[in-house]
Amino acid sequence: MSEKAERPQEDEQISAPEPPRDLRLAGALVRTVLSSEQTLMSWIRTSVSLFTFGFSISKFFQFLAVKQDDTEFSTGPRRLGISLICVGILMLLLAMADHVRLIRYMRKQGLPADSGSYLPFGSAAAFLAIGLVALVSVYLKWGL
């Protein structure tokens, strides 16, 4: 960070015969990719909370309905659960696509090749699979 604070005064020197290597842009690109990763992780949290809320609500009221012998009772919670899980799945997919697109764009802008990891993308894919299982489980009324 101190690098960034010192450099602005040296802007005139960039066109000097032997310019110092300017790392501000590379650093800014890496920070932007990291910011995109944090955003993808935020999407993961959002989607996972949608999955868990949707799943818990529909399963809890499915349980109560089975206990009560009233299958109509759980239709509202089940519909809410299915819509929450669907929104979570859709948004996580779109967010993953956006993240990949941003990384490609940043590579064209000169992002250092060794930066950026596939960890957030991989975990997003894993949580997407969990969300799909939750959706199928709620839809087919597995268990109970």
Partner 1 sequence: MSEASISKERTAAEIVGALSALALVRTAFSSQRSLMSWMRTSVSLYTFGFSIAKFTDYLEQQAEDVELAAGNRELALVLMIMGILSIVLAVFEHSRRIRRMKQLGLPDVSRPYLPIVAAAALLVIGIATLVGIVDNWSG
DSSP string covering 19-62: PPP--HHHHHHHHHHHHHHHHHHHHHHHHHHHHHHHHHHHHHHH
For partner 1, the binding residues in 4-63 under the rule CB under 8 A are 11-12, 14-15, 22, 24-26, 28-29, 31-32, 35-36, 38-39, 42-43, 45-46, 49-50, 53, 57, 60-61
Residues 6+ apart with CB under 8 A from 133: none
Q: In whole angstroms, how far apart are CA 53 and each of 15, 56, 96, 134, 138? A: 57, 5, 22, 11, 12
The count of residues interacting with partner 1 (CB under 8 A) is 46
CB of 118 to partner 1, least distance (A): 19
- Residues making contact with partner 1 (CB under 8 A): 11-12, 14-15, 22, 24-26, 28-29, 31-32, 35-36, 38-39, 42-43, 45-46, 49-50, 53, 57, 60-61, 64, 68, 70, 73, 76-77, 80, 83-84, 87, 91, 94-95, 98, 101-102, 105, 108-110
